[in-house]
Amino acid sequence: MNNPLLKITNLELGFNTFQGEHKILHGLNIHIKAGERVALVGESGSGKSVTARIILGMFDELTSANFSGDILFNEQRLDLMTKAQKHSLRGKEISMIFQDPTSSLNPTFKIGQQFYEVLRTANPKIKKQAANKIAIDWLHKVAITDADRVLNSYAFQLSGGMNQRVMIAMALVNKPSLLLADEPGTALDVTVQAQTLNLMRELVTQENTAVLFISHNLGVVREFADRVYIIYKGRIVEQGKTHDIFDNPQHPYTQALMAAVPRITGGGIPEIDDTSERYYDPIFIHKGGEEIGDPV
């Protein structure tokens, strides 16, 4: 049972443009074990959000996109699945949390209705009342006390932090084994973000849900992840256990990233100029952070 929950091997992605193929990802290797919390760290445009969407199979529609590489989830090849098969995994086996919770909830339907729809994807025959009970239960788990009011509200009537909790509850209610968190709560203010992330960490530990945590925020990553992949321009440049990377960054790009973290205020990192040729140095793998099956 040492097989990982998710194993991505040599993932490449390119777009056909009129100037030829434009490569986004250059052979990513990533694995996540059951219940493990793994972070994918990089600046915007490095290809990290794209990776999450490929795992969810939400890139198929684009005819101009080419991929190659294996994606193994629960012993199944995601990349060979039909659209319908992939669709049946979403929201049930694999779930996702987005950057801005308020705009990720439908403004014309009450939270309760959206919760009901999420539950229906796992159990199409579920009755509204039963769904309501489960929803209230889960809202309690994310520390929402007046669950009834929240279920009867629209997203724009609730605070960002409240919506983020709702999203977390919705993402976990069908007990997925993998949660993709794409810059969760970046749109929220810092203290609210920290609160909701703590909640999320507790819940995924309880439920033994694996998390792929996509972020540019090193402070948050340090708190949240067991293991870290640093991604730069579609390549993994450094990987290893969280404390190894933070204590002893080896790759020049990682070092630059660390140096750029504002010391006092926290929050985002400034844009890093890609002036250094050394950012293209080969990958550095810390001990204990190797890909499974790789020769050490």
Instruction: Work out which of 131, 171, 197, 228 binds another protein, going by CB under 8 A.
Output: 171
Assess 104 for contact with another protein (CB under 8 A): yes
**Encoding tokens for residue 253?**
């790009």
Assess 58 for contact with another protein (CB under 8 A): yes
Which region, judged by CB under 8 A, interacts with another protein, from 16-24, 117-125, 126-134, 282-290? 117-125
Assess 34 for contact with another protein (CB under 8 A): no
Closest listed residue to residue 58, CA positions, set 98, 87, 21: 87
- Touching another protein, residues 118-147 (CB under 8 A): 118, 121
Assess 109 for contact with another protein (CB under 8 A): yes
Instruction: Work out which of 45, 107, 288, 293 binds another protein, going by CB under 8 A.
Output: 107
126 burial class (0-12, 13-18, 19+ CB within 10 angstroms)?
middle
Distance of alpha carbon 183 from alpha carbon 290, whole angstroms: 25
Please state the closest distance from residue 272 (CB atom) to another protein, in A: 27
Assess 74 for contact with another protein (CB under 8 A): no
Phi, psi torsion values for 283, nearest 5 degrees? -60, 145
- Touching another protein, residues 261-280 (CB under 8 A): none
Please state the closest distance from residue 202 (CB atom) to another protein, in A: 22
Which region, judged by CB under 8 A, interacts with another protein, from 2-10, 30-38, 94-102, 231-239? 94-102
Q: Count interface residues toward another protein (CB under 8 A).
A: 29
Assess 226 for contact with another protein (CB under 8 A): no
Strand order in the sheet with 76-77: 20-32, 6-17, 65-73, 76-77
Distance of alpha carbon 85 from alpha carbon 81, whole angstroms: 6
Please state the closest distance from residue 121 (CB atom) to another protein, in A: 4
Angle subtended by helix axes 111-122 and 128-141, to nearest 10: 100
Instruction: Work out which of 90, 201, 222, 241 binds another protein, going by CB under 8 A.
Output: 90
- Which amino acid is located at 165 in the chain? R
231: enclosing H helix or E strand: strand 227-232
- What is the rounded end-to-end Cα distance, in angstroms, of the chain? 20
65: enclosing H helix or E strand: strand 65-73
Instruction: Work out which of 12, 27, 69, 100 binds another protein, going by CB under 8 A.
Output: 100
Q: Which residues bind another protein (CB under 8 A)?
A: 56, 58, 87-92, 95-96, 98-100, 103-109, 117-118, 121, 154, 156-157, 167, 170-171
